[in-house]
Amino acid sequence: MSMLAVRDLAVARGGMRVAEGISFTLDPGKALILRGPNGIGKTTLLRTIAGLQPPAAGQIETTPDSLAYAAHADGLKSALSVAENLRFWASIFGAQGIDAALSALDLTGLADRPAGTLSAGQKRRLGLARLLVTGRLVWLLDEPTVSLDADAVALFGQVIRAHLRTGGAALIASHIDLGLPEAEMLDLTPHRAAPRGANAVPAGFNEAFG
Amino acid sequence: MSMLAVRDLAVARGGMRVAEGISFTLDPGKALILRGPNGIGKTTLLRTIAGLQPPAAGQIETTPDSLAYAAHADGLKSALSVAENLRFWASIFGAQGIDAALSALDLTGLADRPAGTLSAGQKRRLGLARLLVTGRLVWLLDEPTVSLDADAVALFGQVIRAHLRTGGAALIASHIDLGLPEAEMLDLTPHRAAPRGANAVPAGFNEAFG
Amino acid sequence: MIELGKYAGTVLLAYGVSLALLIALIWHSVARNARARDELEAQEGRRDAR
Amino acid sequence: MSIWEYANPVRFMRSTAKLLPWVVAAAAICVTAGLVWGVLTPPDYRQGSTVKIMFLHVPAALMAINGWLMMLVASLIWLIRRHHVSALAAKAAAPIGAVMTVIALVTGAIWGQPMWGTWWEWDPRLTSFLILFLFYLGYIALWSAIEDPDSAADLTGVLCLVGSVFALLSRYAVNFWNQGLHQGASLSVAPGERMSEVYRYPLYLCMLGFFLLFLALLLIRTRTEIRLRRTAALRAREARR
Amino acid sequence: MRALLIRDLRLATRAGGGFGLGLAFFLILCTLVPFGVGPDAAMLSPIAPGILWVGALLSCLLSLDRIFALDHEDGSLDLLATAPIPLEAVVAVKAAAHWLTTGLPLTLAAPIFALLLHLPGAATGDLVLSLLIGTPALSLLGAFGAALTVGLRRGGLLLSLLVLPLYVPTLIFGAEIVRRGAIGADAASPLALLAGITLLSAALIPFAAAAALRINLR
Amino acid sequence: MRALLIRDLRLATRAGGGFGLGLAFFLILCTLVPFGVGPDAAMLSPIAPGILWVGALLSCLLSLDRIFALDHEDGSLDLLATAPIPLEAVVAVKAAAHWLTTGLPLTLAAPIFALLLHLPGAATGDLVLSLLIGTPALSLLGAFGAALTVGLRRGGLLLSLLVLPLYVPTLIFGAEIVRRGAIGADAASPLALLAGITLLSAALIPFAAAAALRINLR
Ligand code: HEM
Ligand SMILES: Nc1ncnc2c1ncn2[C@@H]1O[C@H](COP(=O)(O)OP(=O)(O)OP(=O)(O)O)[C@@H](O)[C@H]1O
Ligand SMILES: Nc1ncnc2c1ncn2[C@@H]1O[C@H](COP(=O)(O)OP(=O)(O)OP(=O)(O)O)[C@@H](O)[C@H]1O
Ligand SMILES: [Mg+2]
Ligand SMILES: [Mg+2]
C-alpha cells in the first residue's frame, strides 16, 4: 500500500489557486522530487500535504501521524544548544536518543554550541537531524540543501538513502540536483492554475465573490 | 581623476574580518562587478564604502555626497503608491521630476499602484528607479537583478549603460551575468581574510582580546 | 555582649539582608570568574591542541 | 609609560593579577573591622541601637552613587579613546552599583520602620535612589539584550551619558515634587549638628571598606568580562574554519 | 508537553528572553504613579489596590507577544503544529509557561510594590491571593490575543486593544478583593467569581486560541 | 526634510499605520482605572491629573517602536542614512511626526478623558497646556529609546524599561501643573521647568539618537 496518495489536488495561496490537478502516490522506499520555477507553489503544496492549510480541491490520503515536515525555516532556538534543541524535538515526538541523529549529520562536535552561533549550513544540518528524531516515515522536505556545501549535500544523500532503505519515503522540493538518480521527478509547471490572466481561479474568500 | 579609490581595504562583520587587501579605483564611465561565493563579504564591502560601517583597515577616497547605495532591501513603503515612494526619494535628494525615472524602468503604467501590491520584480524595478532620482554619480548596487526576469535584466543593462555614458560609475555585486561585457571584474575570493584556521584576524571588540 | 535594646530585630534584619546581598554578589562574581577562566582555558587548550 | 597602557587587556590582566589579592585582603579587613567596630558602638540617645544600621546604609548609598559616576567616566573613556577595557569595566560596575543601591534602599526601609513609622516614604532622597536603581536596571538590560559587543558597548555608553543628565534632572524634579524627611549630609553639615566622634570613625572605616570592596569586585568582574571576550574571539575564529 | 514547558521556561530565563523585564516594568509603573498623583500616603493608600492590579495587567500585557510570535518567526510553530501533540495542549502549555515567568513572579513581588504604594498591611494577603488566582486568567486571555495577532507585523498595540477589554472582569473582581481586604470586609464572593473566571478561561481559551493559530498558520 | 515629515504623517494615517490606536489605548486605560479604583468621584478627582499624565505617557510609549523599527526592517533607514540630510535632522523630523500623530491628538482629546476621571473643570486648561508643552519631550526621549533598540528582535519591553526612567522629570512637572491647576494654585514655575526639559531634550536628543542609530546601522 502507498504511504501517501494525492488525487487531483489543487492548492491555494493568498486567496488564489496556484497549482491544480496534482496527483501522485508515494510508496515505501521511494523518493519524489518536486520541481518548478519560483512561485509555482511547491512550498504551498508541501504545507497543504503537511496539514497546515486545507486543500482547495482534491484528496490527500495518508496514515495519521506518519508525516514529518521540514520547512524553509528550521525552527531553531538560538539561545539553546544544539543538543538541547534536538532533545526538545526528540521528546516532543517521543523518541529516545539523539546521538544517532547527531552523528548522522556530523554534528557531534558541535553538540554544546548555542544554535545561534552556528553557520547557515550547520543550522541547516541541525534542521535535518530533527527529521531523524521524529521517527516519522514520510518526510516532506522544502529545499533541504539550501546553504549546504558539496560535502554536506552528499551527507544528506546518504541520510535520505538510509531512510528509504528502512522503508521510509520522501517528498522533496528542490531547485538543484540532489544526487539521487533513483528518485522520480514531478514537475509542477504544467499544473500552474489557469495560466495567468483574467480567468485565474480564486480560492477561499474570493471564490464566493469572484 | 577617479571617482572612488579604495586602498588596501579590510572589512569586518560580526566581530571578524571577512575580506582584506582590497584595492581598486573606479573612473567615470566605468563599471566594476564584484564576484565571489556566498559569505565572502560583498555586501559588507558595499556597506563599508557607502559609509554605513567603518573599515577595519585601509582607505576609501571619494568626493562627498557622490555615492548612491541600493541594498538587498528596497526601502519601499507598501502603503504608499509607486509615484509617492519615488517622489519622496526625489525630494530627499533634491531632484525634480520622477517621470524620466518611471519611464526608464517601465513603471509609468504602475505609478498609482500601492507599492505593496507589486510583484517582487516590479518592486525591484522601483528600487532601481530610485537610483535615477538621486542624481548621484557613483552607484553601489547589491545584487540589483535579484528576482528580475530576462526582459527586466536587459532594461537594467540599458539604464546602467546610459548612466555610464553620462559620466557615472557603478560598483555592482552580483552572482549572475549582467550582460555588461565592457565591465571589469573583481573576484573577492583571493581576498578572504586569513584563509581559514587559527590565524583569522578578529576585528572591532574582538581585536583587542583575540 | 552587644546591647541592641528594643530595636534588636530591626538591626539584625538590616544586617542580615545586607550581608546576604553582599555575599550573593561576591559569590556570583567569583563563580562567574571561575567559570570564565575554565572556559577560556578549555578553549585555549583546544586551540593549542591543533 | 602612559596610564593608557593599562587599558591594554593583556597588560590589564597581568597587572591586576598581582594587585587583586592585596585589594581583596584590604577590603576584607576594612569591611569586617568597620562593621564590628560599628556594631560595638553605644546606642544613640534618640535612635537607640538603630544607628548601627548607618554603618551599612551610608557606605552602600555612597558606593551606589559613585558606582554610577564610575560607569559614566568609563563610558566616556570608551566613547572618546576607544579603550576596550574601560567599556568592560563600565559593564562590570553596573551590577555592583545596583546591589549597593538595593542595600541602601533596603537598610533605609528597615531603618524607616521604627524611625518614621513606615517602611517607605516618597521622600526625595529615597525616591531618587529608586530612580537610580531604575537607571541601573535599564543599563544592565540593554547590555544583555545586544549581541554584538561593539554595538553594545557604544549604545550603553550613549545611554549612560543621556541617563546621567536625566538622572540629575530627576533629582531636582523630585526635590521640587516633595520636600522630605530624610536628614541631610551630616558629615558636612553645620558644626552643631556634627555627628558624634563615636560614630564618625567607624563610619569612615566602613566607607573605606565598601570602597575597597567595590574595587575588588570591579576588578574581578572586569577580568571575567575580558576572559569571556577572549573566549568568544577564539570561538569566532574556530567557527571560521 | 513537559519538554515544551521546560523549553519555554529555559528560553525565557536565558539571556535575551526578557524574564524580569515584566517585573521591572511593574516596578517602574509603581514608581511613576506617585509622581503623577502626589507623594501623600493618605492619597496613595486607597488607590493602591487598583493601581497594583492595573500594573500587573499591563506588565502581563507587554510580554504577551513572547507567547507565539518568536516561535512563529523562526518556524517552530509550523513544526509544533505538525507534531503529535494537539495544538490545544501547546496553547495551554505556553500560557502556563507565560504565567510561570510573568504572573507568578509578579504575584510574589507584589507585597514589595504594595509597600511603595502604601497599601494597608492587612490587604497584602488578599493582594497576593487575588493575583495568584487572577493572573492565570490574564495569561490565558493574553494567549488568545497573541494567537489572533501572531502573523501581523506590528501586532503590539492592536494586541493591547483586543486583550484589554477581555481583562475587565478579572480586573474588577481582583481589585475588589484587595479593596475589601484593605477595609477588612469579607472578600469571599469576589474571590469565588475570580476563580470562576480563571476556570472558565482555562476551559475555553485553549480551544479558541488553537483555532486562531490554525487559521494564522495556513 | 518636509518630504520626510509628510511621508511619515501619511504613513501613520494610512491603513495599518496605527494612528488612533494610541488614543484608543488611552481611552481603555482611563476606563480601566475606575474599575480598579472604584467609581467614586471623590476618589477619582484628586488622582485624575496623575492618571491622565501616566496614561498619556504609556500610550505614547506603546507607539514608539513605530518611529524607527519599520524603516529599519524595510531598509529605508539604511538609505536615509546615506541620503544628503543629516541623521540628526532625520531623528528630529521623525520625533516631530510621532508627536503630531500621538502627542497632539492626545492633548486635544484629553479634556474628554478628563471628564471620565472627574478632573476638576478648572484644571482642564492646565491639563491641555501641560500636555502641549510636555508631550514633545516624550516623543523626543522616546525616539532616543527607539534608536537604541532599533536592531533588536523584541525591543518592546526593553524600550519601556529604558525610556520610562527618562520620563520621570517630565511626568513630575506635568502632573504638578495640573494638580496645582485643580486647587487653583500658581503653576508658573513647573510650567517653566517643563518647558525647559522639552527644550533641553530638543537640543540634546537628536544628537544622541543619531549616534545610536549610526551604531545600530553598521
Ligand atoms: C529607603 C531608603 C533610603 C535611602 C535610599 C537613603 C539614602 C541615603 C543616602 C544616599 C545617604 C548618604 C547621604 C550622604 O552622606 O550624603 C543616607 C544617609 C543617611 N540616612 Fe538614609 N536613606 C534611606 C532611608 C533612611 C532612613 C529610613 C533613615 C533613618 C531614619 C536614614 C538615615 C540616614 C542617616 C542617619 C544617614 C547618615 C547621615 C548622612 O550621612 O547623611 N535613611 N541615606
Ligand atoms: N502571503 C502571500 N500572499 C499572497 N500570495 C502569496 C503569499 N505567499 C506566497 N504567495 C504566492 O503564492 C505563489 C506560490 O508560492 P510558493 O511559496 O508556494 O512558491 P514556491 O514554488 O515554493 O516558490 P520557491 O521556489 O520560490 O520557493 C507565489 O506566486 C507567491 O507569489
Ligand atoms: N550579523 C552577523 N553576525 C556575524 N556574522 C555575520 C553577520 N552577518 C553576516 N555575517 C558573516 O559575514 C560574512 C560576510 O557576509 P556578507 O553578507 O558580506 O556576504 P556576501 O558576500 O554579501 O554574501 P551573499 O552572496 O550571500 O550576499 C559571512 O560569512 C556571514 O556569515
Ligand atoms: Mg518555496
Ligand atoms: Mg550579500
Give the model's pLDDT for residue F217: 87
Give the model's pLDDT for residue A191: 86
Residues in the ligand 1 pocket, defined by CB under 6 Å: D 54, 57-58, 61, 104-105, 108-109, 111-112, 115, 125-126, 129, 182-183, 185-187
State the CATH number of the domain containing residue A172: 3.40.50.300
Record the cell numbers describing residue D26, joined without a space: 584590604
Mean pLDDT of all residues belonging to chain D? 85
Report how many domains make up chain C.
Answer: 1
> Which domain range does residue B131 map to?
76-136
Give the model's pLDDT for residue B210: 60
Q: What is the DSSP secondary structure assignment for residue A119, as one 8-state letter?
A: -
E161-208: pLDDT as tens digits = 888 889 989 999 999 999 898 888 888 899 999 999 999 999 999 999
User: Are residues A56 and A18 located together in one domain of the fold?
Assistant: yes
| Ligand 5 mean position, distance from CA B50 (Å) | 14
Checking if the pLDDT of D29 tops 90, the result is: yes
Mean pLDDT of all residues belonging to chain F? 88
Q: Which residue among A43, A145, A175 is best mutated to probe the pocket of ligand 2, counting the most ligand atoms within 8 A of its Cβ?
A: A43
Which of D4, D240, D241 has the most B C-beta neighbours within 10 Å, making it the best mutation to test the interface with B?
D240
Rounded mean pLDDT of D180-194?
50
Amino acid at position A143, single letter: E
F51-61: pLDDT as tens digits = 899 989 988 88
D128-149: pLDDT as tens digits = 899 999 999 999 999 988 878 8
Whether C contacts E, i.e. 3 or more CB pairs less than 8 A apart, is: no
Among A4, C22, F36, D9, CA closest to E127 = F36
C-alpha torsion D124→D129→D130→D133, nearest 10 = 160
Q: Which residue puts its alpha carbon closest to atom 16 of ligand 1?
A: D185
Record the cell numbers describing residue E144, joined without a space: 488568545
- For residue E102, the distance in angstroms to the closest alpha carbon of chain F comes to 13
Checking if the pLDDT of B102 tops 70, the result is: yes
Residue B174 has φ and ψ, to the nearest 5°, of: -160, 145
Checking if the pLDDT of D28 tops 60, the result is: yes
Give the model's pLDDT for residue A205: 59
Residue B200 has φ and ψ, to the nearest 5°, of: -60, 145
F159 lies within 8 A of chain D by CB: no
Among B101, B151, B92, B88, CA closest to B128 = B101
User: Are residues B125 and B80 located together in one domain of the fold?
Assistant: yes
Asked if residues D223 and D16 have their Cβ atoms less than 8 Å apart, the reply is yes
Checking if the pLDDT of B136 tops 50, the result is: yes
| Ligand 1 mean position, distance from CA D62 (Å) | 10
| Ligand 5 mean position, distance from CA B197 (Å) | 23
Sheet with B138-142: strands ordered across: B67-70, B138-142, B169-173, B31-35, B184-187
Q: Which residues pair with B186 in a beta bridge?
A: B34
Give the model's pLDDT for residue D181: 59
Spatial separation of the C-alpha atoms in residues E175 and D192, rounded to whole Å: 50
Among A22, A39, A58, CA closest to A190 = A22
Rounded mean pLDDT of B159-176?
89
User: Are residues B7 and B46 located together in one domain of the fold?
Assistant: yes
- Identify the band that residue F70 occupies on the pLDDT scale cut at 50, 70 and 90: confident
Among F32, F33, F59, F65, CA closest to F157 = F65
Query: Residue B59: left if φ>0, alpha if ψ -120 to 50, beta else—which one?
Result: beta
Beta strands in B63-175 (DSSP E): 67-70, 138-142, 169-173
As a CATH number, domain D7-240 is 1.20.120
> Which domain range does residue C37 map to?
4-48
Q: What is the ipTM metric for this complex? A: 0.83
| Ligand 1 mean position, distance from CA D103 (Å) | 11
Give the model's pLDDT for residue A210: 47
**Within a 10 A sphere around the Cβ of B199, how many other Cβ atoms?**
9
Residue percentage of chain F with pLDDT more than 90 = 38
Q: Which residue among A11, A38, A145 is best mutated to probe the pocket of ligand 2, counting the most ligand atoms within 8 A of its Cβ?
A: A38
Record the cell numbers describing residue D238, joined without a space: 574556530
Rounded mean pLDDT of F17-46?
81
User: Are residues A124 and A173 located together in one domain of the fold?
Assistant: no
- Identify the band that residue B202 occupies on the pLDDT scale cut at 50, 70 and 90: low
Record the cell numbers describing residue D224, joined without a space: 571575567
F125-173: pLDDT as tens digits = 999 999 999 999 999 999 999 999 987 766 677 888 899 999 999 999 9
Give the model's pLDDT for residue D189: 39
Q: Is residue B71 domain-resident?
A: no
User: Are residues A60 and A91 located together in one domain of the fold?
Assistant: no
Spatial separation of the C-alpha atoms in residues E97 and E6, rounded to whole Å: 8
> Chain F, 47-106: which have a CB under 8 Å from a chain B CB?
71, 74-85
Identify which has the larger pLDDT, D65 or A145. Answer: D65
How many Cα atoms are found within 13 Å in the side-chain-facing hemisphere of D40?
A: 8
B71-98: pLDDT as tens digits = 877 888 878 889 999 999 988 888 778 8
Alpha helices in chain D (DSSP H): 9-40, 54-81, 84-116, 124-145, 149-177, 197-240
Give the model's pLDDT for residue A196: 45
Q: Is residue B156 domain-resident?
A: no
B199 lies within 8 A of chain A by CB: no
Residue percentage of chain D with pLDDT more than 70 = 88
Inter-chain touch D119–E16, beta carbons under 8 Å: no
Q: Is residue B62 domain-resident?
A: yes
Residue E82 has φ and ψ, to the nearest 5°, of: -100, 5
Residue percentage of chain D with pLDDT more than 90 = 51
User: Are residues A205 and A141 located together in one domain of the fold?
Assistant: yes
Give the model's pLDDT for residue B198: 44
Give the model's pLDDT for residue D240: 58
Checking if the pLDDT of D102 tops 70, the result is: yes
Give the model's pLDDT for residue E42: 83
DSSP D12-64: HHHHHHHHHHHHHHHHHHHHHHHHHHHHHSPPBTTTBGGGGGHHHHHHHHHHH
Give the model's pLDDT for residue E204: 93
The residues of chain A scoring below 70 in pLDDT are 1, 38-39, 117, 147, 194-210
Amino acid at position B91, single letter: S
The residues of chain E scoring below 50 in pLDDT are none
Rounded mean pLDDT of F195-210?
95
Asked if residues A161 and A172 have their Cβ atoms less than 8 Å apart, the reply is no
Give the model's pLDDT for residue D192: 40
Record the cell numbers describing residue A202, joined without a space: 480564486
- The H or E element spanning position E22 is helix E21-37
Q: How many helices (H) and strands (E) does chain C have?
A: 1, 0
Ligand nearest to the CA of D128: 1
Give the model's pLDDT for residue A208: 54
Ligand nearest to the CA of D115: 1
- Identify the band that residue D4 occupies on the pLDDT scale cut at 50, 70 and 90: low
Among F66, F135, F62, CA closest to F104 = F135
User: Are residues A50 and A39 located together in one domain of the fold?
Assistant: yes
Checking if the pLDDT of B149 tops 80, the result is: no
Checking if the pLDDT of B200 tops 60, the result is: no
Q: Is residue A62 domain-resident?
A: yes
Give the model's pLDDT for residue A198: 44
Task: Find, in chain E, the residue whose alpha carbon is nearest to that of D123.
Answer: E39
Report how many domains make up chain A.
Answer: 2
